[in-house]
């Protein structure tokens, strides 16, 4: 999920989809802006810092699991599959899999062509003999994979608990789309963060050093930078709450006083205590994960966790 941002995020380059999501998200109740907009250059840097925080266990835990299980995964799926990664593959987890799975090809899929090209270039230096076919596409919809990998069985790779950003409805849609994209005989290796005590979960999203707060607040700064906004960022505070009913961490930006501001020339008002919902991070127990996979058209065949049961990695077949 760590993304090498290319452009500088100047106002002239505002993405029309960002504009539309922000304007409609601020107009709706409850206010909500999709989490994907966190990742401009600054947001990607801050996310990288989050992954090193003592409180943020997911990245280091999943990386350790993948290192431990990689040869077992290869035994189960067989060598020579085409590895298809959903996301641009700029994390440190991709090389772990590519090193041991001995794939016939590597196909990273990402909606941002810039991220995709940058991370593929970095990986190509490390794996000069591996054919790589980056695909610029929205992986929420079924994708036609490059003809060069048509005859190889596929191993889908979706690490990072990125699926946790989606509601279960969106997540099952995505799993079905992945199944359709990967075709007959495909397998899927996917990471999902587990449900655990709120006093472990909440600090992971509200760290003592304030990095996650800066990450969340950067969304407002990005709005000001790219959408000609005048949001008074200092009047907002980062909030992370565990929603036990929906088994998810929610991040919000809460107005600490009444505020008026404009974005893209449109006026908005918030009262003290009003929030903008900026992220969901759903957590799945092992059974929940299996049910989610089955609902998405996949049959779970193996699962692994760390010694503390913090994070789950699942292997499923189409
Ligand atoms: C990249 C979506 C997996 O939900 O844990 C980290 C993003 N947000 N801290 C997560 C995130 C706040 C992260 N994912």
DSSP reduced 3-state for 285: coil
pLDDT at 11: 44
**Span from the CA of 281 to the centroid of ligand 1 (angstroms):** 7
pLDDT at 13: 66
pLDDT at 215: 98
Give the residue whose CA is nearest to atom 10 of ligand 1. Answer: 281
Cα separation, 136 vs 138, whole angstroms: 7
Q: Is the CB of 191 under 6 A from ligand 1?
A: no
Q: Is the CB of 161 under 6 A from ligand 1?
A: yes
**Span from the CA of 196 to the centroid of ligand 1 (angstroms):** 16
**Span from the CA of 148 to the centroid of ligand 1 (angstroms):** 33
Cα separation, 56 vs 180, whole angstroms: 33
Cα separation, 57 vs 52, whole angstroms: 9
Closest-lying ligand 1 atom to the alpha carbon of residue 281 = 4
Q: Is the CB of 281 under 6 A from ligand 1?
A: yes
Give the up-direction half-sphere exposure of residue 90: CA atoms within 13 A in the CB hemisphere.
21
pLDDT at 91: 78
DSSP reduced 3-state for 224: helix
Q: Is the CB of 1 under 6 A from ligand 1?
A: yes
**Span from the CA of 314 to the centroid of ligand 1 (angstroms):** 19
pLDDT at 254: 98
Best residue among 47, 54, 247 to mutate for probing ligand 1's pocket (most ligand atoms within 8 Å of CB) is 47
Question: Please, what is the end-to-end C-alpha distance for the chain in angstroms?
Answer: 24
**Span from the CA of 178 to the centroid of ligand 1 (angstroms):** 21
pLDDT at 114: 84
Give the residue whose CA is nearest to atom 5 of ligand 1. Answer: 281
- Cβ atoms of 105 and 89 within 8 Å: the answer is no
- Cβ atoms of 71 and 306 within 8 Å: the answer is no
Q: Is the CB of 289 under 6 A from ligand 1?
A: no
**Span from the CA of 165 to the centroid of ligand 1 (angstroms):** 8
Packed helices 211-226 and 41-51: angle between N→C axes, nearest 10 degrees: 170
Best residue among 86, 278, 279, 283 to mutate for probing ligand 1's pocket (most ligand atoms within 8 Å of CB) is 279
Q: Is the CB of 205 under 6 A from ligand 1?
A: yes
Closest-lying ligand 1 atom to the alpha carbon of residue 165 = 2
State the complex-level ipTM. 0.99
Phi-psi region of 4 (alpha: psi -120 to 50; beta: other; left: phi over 0): beta
- pLDDT by residue (tens digit) across 155-193? 999 999 999 999 999 999 999 999 999 999 999 999 999
Model pTM?
0.94
pLDDT at 8: 46
- Cβ atoms of 278 and 253 within 8 Å: the answer is yes
Give the residue whose CA is nearest to atom 2 of ligand 1. Answer: 162
Q: Is the CB of 88 under 6 A from ligand 1?
A: no
Q: Is the CB of 181 under 6 A from ligand 1?
A: no
Q: pLDDT averaged over consecutive 10-residue blocks of the chain (318 residues)?
A: 44 80 98 95 93 97 97 95 90 92 95 87 95 93 94 96 97 97 96 98 98 98 97 98 98 98 97 98 98 98 98 98
Q: Within 10 Å of residue 104's Cβ, how many Cβ atoms?
A: 18
What backbone phi and psi angles, to 5 degrees, belong to 253?
Answer: -115, 115
């Amino acid at each position: 999920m760590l993304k090498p941002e290319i452009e500088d995020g100047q106002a002239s380059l505002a993405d029309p989809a960002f504009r539309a999501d922000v304007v409609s998200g601020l107009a709706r109740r409850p206010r909500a802006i999709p989490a994907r907009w966190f990742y401009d250059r600054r947001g990607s840097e801050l996310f990288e810092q989050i992954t090193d925080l003592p409180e943020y266990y997911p990245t280091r835990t999943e990386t350790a699991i993948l290192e431990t299980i990689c040869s077992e995964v290869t035994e189960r799926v067989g060598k020579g599959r085409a590895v298809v990664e959903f996301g641009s593959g700029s994390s440190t987890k991709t090389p772990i899999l590519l090193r041991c799975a001995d794939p016939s090809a590597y196909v990273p899929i990402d909606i941002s062509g810039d991220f995709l090209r940058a991370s593929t270039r970095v990986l190509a230096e490390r794996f000069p003999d591996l054919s790589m076919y980056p695909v610029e596409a929205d992986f929420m919809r079924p994708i036609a994979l490059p003809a060069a990998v048509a005859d190889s069985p596929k191993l889908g790779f979706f690490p990072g608990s990125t699926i946790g950003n989606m509601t279960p409805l969106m997540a099952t849609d995505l799993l079905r789309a992945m199944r359709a994209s990967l075709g007959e005989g495909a397998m899927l290796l996917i990471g999902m963060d587990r449900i655990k005590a709120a006093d472990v979960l909440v600090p992971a999203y509200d760290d003592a050093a304030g990095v996650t707060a800066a990450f969340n607040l950067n969304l407002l700064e990005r709005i000001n930078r790219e959408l000609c906004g005048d949001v008074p960022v200092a009047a907002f505070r980062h909030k992370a709450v565990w929603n036990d009913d929906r088994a998810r961490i929610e991040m919000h930006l809460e107005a600490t006083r009444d505020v008026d501001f404009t974005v893209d020339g449109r006026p908005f008002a918030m009262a003290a205590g009003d929030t903008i919902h900026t992220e969901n991070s759903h957590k799945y127990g092992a059974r929940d994960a299996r049910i989610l996979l089955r609902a998405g058209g996949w049959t779970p065949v193996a699962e692994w966790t760390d010694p503390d049961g913090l994070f789950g990695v699942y292997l499923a077949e189409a």
